[in-house]
Structure 1
Amino acid sequence: MESAYVVWAVRIALAGFFGFHAVLKLSGYSGDVQLFEQIGYGQWFRYVTGLVEAAAAILMLLPGFTALGGLLILGTMSGAILTKITVLERGFALELVIALVAAWLVWRFRDQILALLP
């Protein structure tokens, strides 16, 4: 059984990573503006992605909502991986590692999701 400290450290790290990137996207950081233009989705999708990342960061830290935050991260990273493969033709190792860590947290806190089902 993993240590509660390790689980919290992973949750905090993911929340920090996604919170930071949400701020960049929502504040109009030029690198993200250019990236979303290159991808071809437009700037509206940058804002949606930033809001999803912000929600994931917040949920990751709220007791009882870690699994939902992990699901948002899994969805975001899946989209990032597909975009990197099909549009940008770049590597996706970081995104894959983040997705695997998020999947571990979703599994670890799966009871939170099961509790929401009727």
Structure 2
Amino acid sequence: MRIWDISPNLLCRNHLLGEHRELHAMWVIITEKKKGYSLHPETLRWYGKLNALYLRHELLANEMCSRGYNHKSPLDKRKATGKSLQDVFIDDPLDQIKILKNKNCDCKI
């Protein structure tokens, strides 16, 4: 699981859509107290920051729409509680850019 901490407009199609899918899975894990991946480091960093996760989803959805994709999976804003800023990183955003560079994909890095 990975939620990137860089601008969605830098992500290639695969990373943009993949992150969107994983963000929805993480949202369900946290909001519905599901066990799958609940102890994964990527999930743990979002506990108490559902507002930040919601805002990340909005950025992803806006980017998807700007590329002509249909976005029909909004999150329930009423569940967007906690901090609105993610300040815990598994990989620093600059390291995330390096990771994406090494993937040899179409990300705009």
TM-score greater than 0.5 by the shorter chain: no
- Tell which structure's C-alpha radius of gyration is larger: 1
Bigger RCO of structures 1 and 2 (CA < 8 A, at least 6 apart): 2
TM-score for both structures, normalised by structure 2: 0.40
- Return the TM-score normalized by structure 1: 0.38
